[in-house]
Amino acid sequence: MLVTLQKLFQESLDIVAPKYAGKNVNAIIMVSVRAGFGDYQCNNAMQLSKLHNKGKPKTEQKSPFDVASEIAANVPENDVIAKCEPVNGFINIYLKEDFIKAEIKRLLATGSPIPPEVPYKRVVVDFSSPNIAKPLHVGHLRSTIIGDTICRLYEYCLGIPEGGVDVDPVCDWAAVEKAIEDEGENAKPAVIRTNHVGDWGTQFGMLIAQLKLEAPDFKEKMPDIGDLVTFYKRAKAHFDEDLEFKEEARRTVVKLQSHSPDEYAAWKKICELSRADFQVIYDMLKVSIAECGESFYNPLIPVVIKMMEDEGKAELDNGALCWFRDGKPDPDAPKSKKGQSASIPLILRKTDGGYGYDSTDMAAIYYRTQRLHADKIVYCTDHGQAPHFDLIFAAAKAMGWVEMGPDPEAVHVGFGLVKDTSGQKFKTRSGDTVGLRLLLDEAVGKVHAILKERSANRMTEEEMPEIAQKVGIAAVKYADLSSQRTKDYVFSFDRMLNLKGNTAVYLMYAYARISSIFGKAGTTKEALLETPEAIVLSEVAEERAAEVALMIHIARFQDEVVSTLKDLYPHRLCDYLYNLSVKISDFYEKCRVITDDAVMRESRLHMLLAAQLTMKKCFDILGIEPVEKL
Q: What is the pLDDT of residue 538?
A: 94
For residue 572, CA distances in Å to 306, 428, 479, 558 come to: 43, 31, 13, 12
Q: In this model, does residue 342 exceed pLDDT 60? A: no
295-406 under CATH 3.40.50.620, yes or no: yes
User: Binning pLDDT at 50, 70 and 90, where does residue 257 land?
Assistant: confident
Q: What is the pLDDT of residue 18?
A: 94
**Superfamily of structural domain 2-95:** Arginyl tRNA synthetase N-terminal domain (3.30.1360.70)
| Mean pLDDT to the nearest integer, 47-66 | 92
Q: What is the pLDDT of residue 434?
A: 72
Coil vs helix vs strand at 91 = strand
Q: In this model, does residue 50 exceed pLDDT 50? A: yes
Residue with more model confidence, 88 or 337: 88
Give 482's contacts (C-beta < 8 A, 6+ positions apart): 502, 570, 571, 574, 575, 578
User: Binning pLDDT at 50, 70 and 90, where does residue 335 land?
Assistant: low
Q: What is the mean pLDDT of the chain?
A: 90
For residue 286, CA distances in Å to 51, 148, 195, 621, 624 come to: 53, 9, 15, 12, 9
The secondary structure of 437-485, three-state, reads: HHHHHHHHHHHHHHHHHHCCCCCCCCCHHHHHHHHHHHHHHHHHHCCCC
Please give the Cα distance from 262 to 67 (Å, whole number).
78
Residue with more model confidence, 424 or 553: 553
Each as own residue / partner, the long-range contacts of residues 420-425 (CB below 8 Å, 24 or more positions apart, any chain) are: 420/490, 420/491, 421/490, 421/491, 421/492, 423/490
Please give the Cα distance from 479 to 494 (Å, whole number).
11
Q: Nearest 5°: CA angle at 561, between 86 and 39?
A: 20
Question: Which residue blocks in 482-622 are alpha helix, DSSP H?
Answer: 493-496, 504-520, 525-529, 541-555, 557-567, 571-590, 598-622
Please give the Cα distance from 462 to 459 (Å, whole number).
8
Q: In this model, does residue 426 exceed pLDDT 80? A: no
Nearest to 474 by CA among 303, 324, 618: 618
Please give the Cα distance from 387 to 364 (Å, whole number).
17
Q: Is 522 exposed, middle or buried (0-12, 13-18, 19+ CB in 10 A)?
A: exposed
User: Binning pLDDT at 50, 70 and 90, where does residue 93 land?
Assistant: very high
Nearest to 153 by CA among 553, 560, 582, 429: 560
The string of pLDDT tens digits covering residues 104-153 is 999 999 999 999 989 889 999 999 999 988 888 887 899 999 999 999 99
Point out the least confidently predicted range of 27-36, 94-103, 235-244, 383-392.
Answer: 27-36
Domain ranges of the chain: 2-95, 203-287, 295-406, 436-622
Is this model's pTM higher than 0.95 or not? no
Please give the Cα distance from 267 to 256 (Å, whole number).
8
Nearest to 304 by CA among 253, 358, 343: 358
The string of pLDDT tens digits covering residues 158-198 is 998 754 555 677 788 988 888 888 888 788 889 999 999 99
Please give the Cα distance from 7 to 27 (Å, whole number).
8
User: Binning pLDDT at 50, 70 and 90, where does residue 336 land?
Assistant: low
Q: Would you list the DSSP string of 118-179?
A: -S-SEEEEE---PBTTS--BHHHHHHHHHHHHHHHHHHHHTTPPTT-----SB--HHHHHHH
β pairing state of 90-95 and 81-87: antiparallel
Point out the least confidently predicted range of 295-299, 328-332, 589-593.
Answer: 328-332
Q: In this model, does residue 203 exceed pLDDT 90? A: no
Q: What is the pLDDT of residue 341?
A: 46
Q: In this model, does residue 420 exceed pLDDT 90? A: no
Q: What is the pLDDT of residue 36?
A: 80
Point out the least confidently predicted range of 341-350, 415-424, 533-542.
Answer: 341-350
Which CATH architecture does the domain made up of 436-622 adopt? Orthogonal Bundle (1.10)
User: Binning pLDDT at 50, 70 and 90, where does residue 430 land?
Assistant: low
Q: What is the pLDDT of residue 327?
A: 76
Q: What is the pLDDT of residue 184?
A: 83
